[in-house]
């Protein structure tokens, strides 16, 4: 039974808002047809929900009335917001929605091409990154006995800092994914659908054991990291991991940033590059599908870049 059918079997159609039903079917389409990860589907759903709220509110959406003017009004609202920087994400989500509607026969194909694209030059900026000293300070801060759940947060921080795992991968890590005998962490590629194995370092293993033996609440869940408060469930999503890192950054007097956990992933990649690892090795560790995703870290090796930099035109020194 598909997700929309399961939803209809549990709720009466009269009590189900049309937008809720549409979003459920759209989410199922993104997962089964497009193969998008849960986090990406959730992000698309937020933008589409915002569009529906502004366009039809609580009324059933009449897709035959959808026009380019409605789409442009939404785009203008998104781009004029002072709370968010201009991004392609709302338009990408809306294009996916329009393709879904075209597949269902509710709109004409090609309507997604009316949405503008924000041009961004590839590798035009440096990726945000933390130094090795910053990462060590974060590990020390989360391990402070005066903080909340120090053993759990230390294990999380060490996993991020030693393996370069994504926050979502840490949040979903299961007891069955750790091979203690062989010293291997098996990471299930929820985003790329490509699993990979990483070595279990000694300090990460000790931190995990300390948490499992002394701090993890009793639970039938196989997910390693649980919420501290009853009923001690797994984290709802990866944002909980970033919140742990962000709080540590504040205590360590490091300016917090969006996607805090991802900054540690950047630091791991940069350190590997500076120490001479190839792009292929870094991509294998980080789970990148394309080397283009890894190439951005080459800009952070400023010492190596200075050796091959061309002289500035007109510079006589």
Q: Where are the beta strands (DSSP E) in the chain?
A: 178-179, 184-187, 196-199
| Tokens 């939404």 belong to residue | 74
CA distance 166 to 176: 18
- Catalytic residue numbers read 166, 191, 262, 265, 288, 297
DSSP SS3 for 121: coil
Q: What is the β-pairing status of strands 184-187 and 196-199?
A: antiparallel
CB contact at 8 A, 261 and 167: yes
Other beta carbons less than 10 A from residue 201's beta carbon: 16
Nearest CA among 157, 148, 170, 73 for reference residue 116:
73
Angstrom CA distances, 117 to 52, 79, 100, 121, 133, stand at 21, 11, 19, 12, 39
């Amino acid at each position: 039974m598909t997700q929309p059918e399961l939803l209809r079997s549990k709720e009466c159609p009269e009590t189900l808002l049309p937008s809720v039903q549409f979003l459920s079917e759209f989410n199922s389409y993104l997962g089964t047809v497009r193969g998008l990860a849960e986090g990406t589907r959730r992000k698309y759903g937020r933008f589409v929900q915002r569009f529906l709220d502004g366009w039809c509110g609580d009324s059933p959406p009449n897709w035959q009335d959808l026009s380019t003017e409605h789409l442009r009004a939404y785009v203008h609202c998104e781009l004029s917001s002072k709370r968010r920087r201009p991004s392609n994400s709302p338009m990408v989500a809306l294009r996916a929605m329009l393709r879904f509607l075209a597949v269902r026969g509710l709109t004409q194909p090609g309507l997604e091409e009316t949405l503008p694209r924000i041009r961004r030059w590839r590798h035009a900026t440096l990726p945000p990154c933390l130094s090795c000293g910053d990462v060590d300070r974060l590990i020390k801060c989360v391990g402070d006995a005066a903080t909340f759940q120090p053993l759990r947060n230390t294990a999380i921080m060490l996993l991020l800092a030693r393996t370069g795992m994504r926050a979502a991968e840490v949040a979903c890590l299961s007891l069955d994914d750790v091979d203690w005998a062989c010293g291997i962490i098996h990471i299930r590629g929820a985003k790329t659908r490509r699993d990979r194995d990483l070595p279990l370092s000694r300090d990460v293993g000790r931190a995990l054991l300390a948490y499992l033996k002394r701090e993890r609440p009793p639970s039938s869940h196989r997910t390693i990291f649980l919420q501290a408060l009853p009923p001690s469930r797994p984290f709802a999503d990866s944002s909980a991991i970033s919140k742990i890192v962000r709080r540590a950054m504040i205590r360590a007097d490091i300016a917090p940033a969006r996607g805090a956990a991802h900054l540690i992933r950047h630091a791991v990649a940069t350190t590997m590059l500076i120490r001479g690892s190839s792009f292929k090795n870094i991509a294998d560790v980080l789970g990148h599908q394309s080397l283009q995703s890894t190439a951005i870290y080459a800009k952070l090796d400023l010492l190596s870049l200075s050796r091959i930099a061309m002289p500035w035109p007109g510079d006589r020194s």
